[in-house]
Amino acid sequence: MPEKKTFKITHNRKWCKNCGICVAVCPKKVFEIDRNDRHAIVNPQDCIGCQMCVEHCPDFALTVEEVKNE
């Protein structure tokens, strides 16, 4: 069985306006809005690397990169 790919999500809080688009478009519910109405990465292990959050972020505040297991 192939090894599950893992991804590193980087969130630039200085650029983020907490619009919630990443929360809405993520098929795996990796993001949530926390109690302070701020974007939070809550399930990074569930990321499948689809890049939907990156493609839809109007602030260019997210990056998703595959972690190479060596």
* pLDDT tens digits for range 18-70: 999 999 999 999 999 988 888 899 999 999 999 999 999 999 999 999 998 76
Q: pLDDT tier at 4 (50, 70, 90 boundaries)?
A: confident
Q: Is 29 exposed, middle or buried (0-12, 13-18, 19+ CB in 10 A)?
A: exposed
CATH of the domain at 27: 3.30.70.20
Give domain status of residue 60, yes or no.
Answer: yes
Give domain status of residue 1, yes or no.
Answer: no
Domain range for 28 is 6-67
Mode of pairing for the β-strands spanning 62-67 and 39-41? unpaired
Give domain status of residue 28, yes or no.
Answer: yes
* DSSP label at residue 62: E
How many domains does the chain contain in total? 1
